[in-house]
Every structure is written in structure tokens, then in C-alpha cells.
Amino acid sequence: MHIMDGILSPLWVAIWFIVAAPFLAVGLVKIARKRRENPAYMSLLALMGATVFILSVWHIPVPVTGSCSHPCGVALSAIIVGPFESVVLAFIALFFQMFLAHGGITTLGANTVS
């Protein structure tokens, strides 16, 4: 789900960033640990990050409602690289999707959690 920028009040923006922060922190620690063990791990992360981004911006029209949907690569990423690492990849993908009118900086925390 992509919440549009400007929808949430400043209080909810802060709450969602606070909720997302521990998951991002654990993911970054796990990525750093796995990177020390195996430097080639970053290549796998880059590939999964690109997959998450491409699948998320690929829109499929829903004929009955007139809207569109898209596949989500985060579940696949969670299976391959781990759930906390996937939160970091989703955060990065959502950051780049902001520039394509999918959410915004104020809703980045909420979109990461959802």
C-alpha cells in the first residue's frame, strides 16, 4: 500500500517512523554481519533490491474497479535474504518510488511498515 504524501498528520508521521526504526536497525545490523562473513552477499542484496523495486512499480490493471495493483517482491526477498533485511530493501525501494509518485517522504515510515 502506498499512502500519498501529505495525508498523515505530523504526529502519525513520527509514530510510523518510530515503529519502522527498530526493524530497519535490526536489518542493517544483520546485513553488516552477513557482509563481514561473505562479501558476495551484497550482490545478492542488490539483486533482491532491484527485484523488489521492479515488481513494485509494475502495475497490473484491475478491470472491474478501474484501479491497478502490483506484485510485491518483499515476501520473496524475505524468503531469500531474511525478513529484517527485506525491510531495509523495501525501505530503499519505497524511497526511490517516491520519485515516481508512489508515496512520499512523510509517509515513508508508514509505507515501510505496511
Residue 7 region, left (φ>0) first, then alpha (ψ -120 to 50), else beta?
alpha
Average pLDDT estimate for 8-21 = 95
Say if CB 44 and CB 81 are below 8 A apart: yes
Count of the separate structural domains present in the chain: 1
Summary mean pLDDT of the chain: 90
Global pTM reads: 0.87
Helix axes 83-97, 41-57, angle to 10 degrees: 50
What is the domain extent for residue 17? 10-113
Average pLDDT estimate for 23-50 = 95
C-alpha grid cell, residue 80: 531469500
| Burial tier of 11 (Cβ tally within 10 Å: 0-12, 13-18, 19+) | exposed
Q: Which residue has the higher pLDDT, 32 or 111?
A: 32
62 strand-pairing partners: 67
CATH at 46: 1.10.1760.20
Q: Is the pLDDT of residue 15 over 90?
A: yes
Q: Which residue has the higher pLDDT, 87 or 68?
A: 87
Average pLDDT estimate for 50-74 = 82
Residue 1 lies inside a defined structural domain of this protein: no
Residue 5 lies inside a defined structural domain of this protein: no
